[in-house]
Amino acid sequence: MIILKNEREAQGMRLAGGVASIVLKELCSWVNPGMSTRDIDEYAATRIKHYGGKSAFLGYKKYPCHVCLSVNEEVVHGMASDRKIQFGDIISIDVGVVFEGFIGDNARTVSVGGCDLKAQKLMDVTERSLHEGIAQAVAGNRVVDISRAVQTYVEKHGFSVVREFVGHGVGRTMHEEPQVPNFVDGKSSAKLRPGMTLAIEPMVNAGGAAVQILRDGWTVVTKDKQPSAHFEHTVLITESEPEILTRPENCRTVTESV
Ligand code: MF3
Ligand code: CO
């Protein structure tokens, strides 16, 4: 069942999206060579708390960290550890927060001090593929229109989309219907209606699409060890243009202080 949000609930989703995005923004500008992914996770915990939120990931199916930190060939669900990030690495940061009962979910990949051109292109194409998908998130379209837009854009640039992990509806719980694949899976897909809130999240590999899960039970890596990037926004379907909910301007603290 797809849960449509009324205007009051949409406002709740905006606030949660605001906290999720401002924390993500802070983490992205904070990363530097030499810090461990545990340092970043601890910083994330303090920033989420600062804005009055809670991690949506910590404890979810026993996930032990506040945010997901996935380095280079890690695709998603990387876990905080003593691993130090180095100049030239790319790191995907996925932040999901609960704020006043609603969840905002967003992610982006950044370089650690800079990276090679291929990794930069991978990040750029992944981010643009997210926006190609968002552009299709309009009432009357179907979920598959989002999927197709992402896949077409990614493959046109010679990269591949991950099949095993997909975007999702999001609201008071992190994973609601419908699933939002980043490829055309040939199944029937739901019609988009005003009030739907979707986490659209392309995971894009520089090499092949194949992934595997490490023995820690969480970390997803590319089979060919080539790098992967991940961008995500929580989006509201409206009567007109799609509305990105995960925007720093939606954070109450930020709005009130200007
Ligand atoms: N953005 C991811 C998702 O929607 C993050 C989940 S991490 C988990 O599935 F640890 F909470 F599973
Ligand atoms: Co998500």
DSSP 8-state code for residue 249: G
Residue written as tokens 């896949």?
151
- Amino acid 168 reads H
What b/e sequence results for 142-179 when a residue is b if at least 16 CB atoms lie within 10 Å of its CB, and e otherwise?
A: ebbbbbbbbbebbbeeebbbbeebbbbbbbeebebebb
Spacing, Cα 211 to ligand 2 middle (Å): 18
* 9 pocket-lining for ligand 1 (C-beta < 6 Å): no
* 105 pocket-lining for ligand 1 (C-beta < 6 Å): yes
Ligand nearest to the CA of 57: 1
How would DSSP label each residue in 39-106?
HHHHHHHHHHHHTT-EESSTTGGG--SSSEEEETTEEE-----SPBP-TT-EEEEEEEEEETTEEEEE
Ligand nearest to the CA of 93: 1
Task: Please tell me the total number of residues recorded for the chain in this structure.
Answer: 258
Spacing, Cα 118 to ligand 1 middle (Å): 26
Spacing, Cα 77 to ligand 1 middle (Å): 7
Q: Which atom of ligand 1 is nearest to the CA of 63?
A: 10
Predicted TM-score of the model (pTM): 0.97
Distance between CA atoms of residues 23 and 49, nearest Å: 10
- Amino acid 236 reads L
Distance between CA atoms of residues 77 and 69, nearest Å: 7
Ranges under pLDDT 50 in the chain: none
Task: Give pLDDT tens digits for 187-227.
Answer: 999 999 999 999 999 999 999 999 999 999 999 999 999 99
Spacing, Cα 68 to ligand 2 middle (Å): 10
Residue 164 sits at φ, ψ, to 5 deg, of -75, -20
pLDDT of residue 252: 85
Distance between CA atoms of residues 204 and 129, nearest Å: 9
Q: Which domains does the chain have, with CATH numbers?
A: 7-255 (3.90.230.10)
pLDDT of residue 253: 78
Of 41, 55, 58, 60, which is best to mutate to test ligand 1, by the most ligand atoms within 8 angstroms of its C-beta?
A: 60
Distance between CA atoms of residues 113 and 33, nearest Å: 7
Distance between CA atoms of residues 152 and 79, nearest Å: 30
Spacing, Cα 94 to ligand 1 middle (Å): 8
Q: Which atom of ligand 1 is nearest to the CA of 168?
A: 4
Which residues are CB-contacts of 254 (< 8 A; sequence separation ≥ 6)? 18, 22, 248
